[in-house]
Structures are given as structure tokens and as C-alpha cells.
Chains A and B, each alone.
Chain A
Amino acid sequence: MLSLAAVSAGYGSFQALFGVSLEVPRGKAVGVIGPNGAGKTTLMRVISGLIPLRGGAMSLEGRLLDGLPAHRMVEQGIAHVPENRRLFPRLSVEDNLRIGAFVPQARQRFAEQLDWVYNLFPRLKDRREQAAGTLSGGEQQMCAIGRALMSRPKLLLMDEPSAGLAPLVVAQVFELVHRIRAEGLTVLIVEQNVQQVLEVVDRAYLLEVGAIKLAGTSAELKDNSFIRKSYMGL
């Protein structure tokens, strides 16, 4: 569904990605793992249009996405749950979700989508009037995911959903990923929490210093001695 071919990108004179190629098949969950500063967040930002491509090509369902700004990517069916959630802290939970349905095609189905998200995350419904900034870390992550789902995306990008959360909450967040997958969504997830992300994805790529070092099914990567030694501490 999503296909990246030799994508390069960076900020100013700094190049963060060097010829990254990857595939996310429809209905699958794909992980990108790697250390801090490997370019994982840059990769997400390139796919959602926050940073322009410098080289290579990117397509969704065969349509080229190159050069589209972020607000047009949502119309194409890509929703991005940003690193650190980035909720609008003084807006209510429901207003955060409403913003998620900003694009015209999502607005028409706002009520239906809202029911769906509240069904998926009943906690959000209990807290719909509350300012998003007052939610707990796990609830904020639910709200951020819910906000992205409101646009009824084909592809959901998740950037470090477990970052900054307590271990128990991290387990809950990965359980959320399971629930989203069960809804038939295609997911691309970037994580430092290698062990747990390999439990929820079908395939994964290892990104190091802006380039793909390894790729395989999650079972293959779990057995890979380099991954086990460097990323799982086994």
C-alpha cells in the first residue's frame, strides 16, 4: 500500500535519511526500529509531508505522494500520531477529536467516526469534556490515536507511541495497537521498544544512521542474533 523507494531527506545541511526503501502492505502492521537519532521520526515526518523529500519517491496505492504538504496527505488517507502525542492541551478531548475530522470527507461522517473511536476507547467518552492536557499519559495516547483515526485513514503512522509512559501503560498502548489492527487498518509504527513492538507487527525494518540495515518478518528479527544482542539485551 505505502511504498518508499530510495527516499532521502534532511534538515538544512544535515541529511537524516539516505536512500530508505520500504513497503507497507495493506492490512499489515510494519515496524521501524532503531536507536535514538537513527532518523525514525524524520522518516515519519517525510511520509506525512511535514518534511519534503530530497530524493527518491513515495507512493500510496500506486499514487505518487511527492511534494504534497502535510494537510494534503490527510486527504490521501495518511494519519500521523506524532511523537509525544502533541494534543492540543487546552482543547477538550472531543474538540481534539473534532480537529482530527477536519478534512471535508471526514466531516461528513463525524458522528459515525466519533462513535467508532469512543467504542474503541470508552475512556475517552468518559472524559470528552475534559481538557486534553489534564489526561493521564495513557489516556493522552488514546486521545492522540483517536484524533488520527477520526480522519478514517487508510494508513496510520505511529511515532514512538510508548515514549514517556510507565511500563504498565506501555503494555496498554501496545494492546491498543492490537485493537486498531483488528479493525483492519494498515499501521506503520516507529519504536525504540523493540521487544514489545515485534510482538504487534508483521514485519520490521532496522534503521541505523539514516539507512535500512535489516528487514524481515518479526519472527525473523526476534531470532536475529544482532537484534537480540544490540536491541533486546539478550
Chain B
Amino acid sequence: MDPYLIEAIINGILLGGVLALLALGLNLIFGVVDVVWIAYADIVMCGMYVIFFLYTEYGVPLPLACLIAIASMAALGVVVHLLIIAPVLDSAPINQLLATGGLLFFLQSFATLLFGTDFRNIGVRLPILESATLYISFSRLIAFAVGLIGAVALYLFLKRTYIGTAIRAVAQDREIVGLMGVDQRRIYLVTSAIGGALAGLAACLLALQYDVHPYIGNTFGPVIFMICVLGGLGNMIGGFIASFIISQIIAIGGYYSNTELSYVFAFTFFIVLMFVRPRGIFAR
């Protein structure tokens, strides 16, 4: 087989790890709070700026800058819930979409105002792994591994802890959890914090590979939504698998044509599947 094709497939798998992390965060929030965070990818953008400024301007060591980014995005998740989601929790879904969509424009414009439209890079160059014929970027490998570790950590948290079990319970019957002594509002806050932290973690991984600019969220925001809908909104395992399907289409499509067309392939696949399986590939 052509080594470039193998390379494309491997890169697709590696990309899937980061997308899966974001899909998990978005699905978690949707499953529990029942609101789609249209601005989710823009939370990632905020996290990337935090890393960029801490690392390049203030000389904070990169691992510490990453931890601060994760923590501050968790806090941002809580703030977003309290200020934007909580007031519209009982409103019609369209109002919730408009509210989180408004947040998207707010974050993008605010970032443009503060930082301009420059593309900024943290300037960390990790080595490239070479085998006989393959070149694999180390930063992508790290992104994939950390993405998977994040997913497993989230899984264990949801399975093994009381709060995690309560989070899964709220997603299945939000009205009745109070009878078990679970405070629904607290679960929403914890979930929003976890969702924010996952966006922060993704920001760390993406900052190694991409320039940050106010509109970076637009690059992968639509792809994450497509993945979540494809896997069945709220279905975390479905979203996880769909991440790898979509990233493969993008990677292999890119190999046979170019990157722009590969997104056309991915969205065409999505549209066709929405006709065949409107509730997602893994609809129960």
C-alpha cells in the first residue's frame, strides 16, 4: 500500500482522538443539561488563547499553562451555565440555541477586539517520528493519546463515582433524581465544569498543532456537531465512534483529493446518512 495512504489513515486516527474528546464534552452537556452548546468550539478557542498568552507572553511553563487553561475553561463552563443556560433552561429549544449561538458571536467578536485577527502560534516544535517510510507528527500522537486518556478518565468518573452515577441518572430521568437526594442544579454545574475542562484539554492538544485566532472554533465546531448528531445526540459512545469515522473520511478524502474537498465528502456522507438514519447511526 502507498505509504502516504497509510500515513493519511494514521493521521485520521490521531485526529479522531481529539475530535472524540470534544464530542464527549458536547454530548455530556447535551445529555445531562439538554441544551446544545453551539459555542462549544469557541470555548476551546478561549483555552488556546490562555495557553498562548501564559506560555509566550508570561513565560509560564507549558504543562502549567495547560493546567491553568483546563481549570479556567472549567470555570468558564460554570459561568456560561449560570449566566446563559440556567435562565433559558425551561425555554423553547430554539431560544436555547439562539442564546448559545449568541455566545458564539460574542466570544469570537470579543477575541477579535482583544487580540485582533492575527494567527498566533505557541511556537513549540515537537519532533517528527520517522520510520522507514512514514512520518508521524509527535504532537498529533500526544493529542491522540491524551484524548484517549481523557475519554477513559471521563468514563471511569461516570461509572465509578456517586456524582458520575448521578450525572448518568439525570440524563435518563431529570425529574425524579430529586427523590434520591440529588440536587439537579448542582449536577448541571458539575457537568458544565467537566464540559469546559474537556474543551480546555482539547485546547492544549490543538495549541500544539494549530495557530490560534478568533475564528479557529469555526474550523472544527461544525465537524463536532456533525459527529455528535451522527452518533446520536447525547449518545457518548456513538459520538466516540463517529469521531473516528468522520476523521477517517477527512483523512482519506484528503489523500485522494485535497483537504477542502475532504470536508465536502464528510458533510455529504453526513447529509446522506441523515436521510437514512435521521436519529444517528447508533440510534437506540
**Alpha-carbon distance A98/B52, docked complex (angstroms):** 43
Q: Mark A62-85 against chain B: 1 for CB-CB distance below 8 A, else 0.
A: 000000011110110001101000
Q: Mark B144-174 against chain A: 1 for CB-CB distance below 8 A, else 0.
A: 0000000000000000001001101100110
Q: How many residues of B contact A (CB 8 A)?
A: 17
Q: Are A48 and B181 in contact (CB under 8 A)?
A: no
Contact residue among B166, B175, B179, B182 (Cβ-Cβ distance under 8 Å from A80):
B179
Residues of chain A within 8 A of B165, CB atoms compared: 91, 95, 98-99, 102
Q: Does B59 contact A (CB under 8 A)?
A: no
Q: Mark B170-202 against chain A: 1 for CB-CB distance below 8 A, else 0.
A: 001101111111111000000000000000000
Q: Are B162 and A98 in contact (CB under 8 A)?
A: yes
Q: Does A154 contact B (CB under 8 A)?
A: no
**Best-buried of A70, A79, A86 by chain B (most CB within 10 Å):** A70
**Alpha-carbon distance A45/B168, docked complex (angstroms):** 23
Q: Does A147 contact B (CB under 8 A)?
A: yes
State how many angstroms separate the Cβ of B196 from the closest Cβ of chain A.
24
Q: Which residue of B lies closest to A74 (CB)?
A: B181
Q: How many residues of A contact B (CB 8 A)?
A: 29
Q: Does A151 contact B (CB under 8 A)?
A: yes
Q: Which residue of B lies closest to A78 (CB)?
A: B179
Q: Is the interface of B mostly helix, strand, loop or mixed?
A: helix
Residues of chain B within 8 A of A74, CB atoms compared: 179-181
**Alpha-carbon distance A175/B213, docked complex (angstroms):** 67
Q: Are B178 and A71 in contact (CB under 8 A)?
A: yes
Q: Are A99 and B172 in contact (CB under 8 A)?
A: no
**Alpha-carbon distance A131/B257, docked complex (angstroms):** 46
Q: Are B181 and A102 in contact (CB under 8 A)?
A: yes
**Alpha-carbon distance A151/B182, docked complex (angstroms):** 12
Q: Are A69 and B168 in contact (CB under 8 A)?
A: no
User: Which 5 A-B pairs give the minimum distances between C-beta atoms?
Assistant: A70-B178, A74-B181, A103-B181, A88-B172, A71-B183
**Which chain A residues have a beta carbon within 8 Å of chain B's beta carbons?**
48-50, 69-72, 74-75, 79-80, 82, 86, 88-91, 95, 98-103, 106-107, 147-148, 151
10 more contacts with CB within 8 A, not counting A69-B183, A88-B172, are A50-B178, A71-B184, A74-B181, A80-B179, A88-B169, A99-B165, A102-B181, A103-B180, A107-B162, A151-B180
A selection of 21 A-B contacts at a CB cut-off of 8 Å is: A50-B178, A69-B178, A69-B183, A71-B182, A71-B183, A71-B184, A72-B181, A74-B181, A79-B179, A88-B172, A89-B172, A90-B168, A95-B169, A98-B162, A99-B165, A99-B182, A100-B180, A102-B180, A107-B162, A147-B180, A151-B181
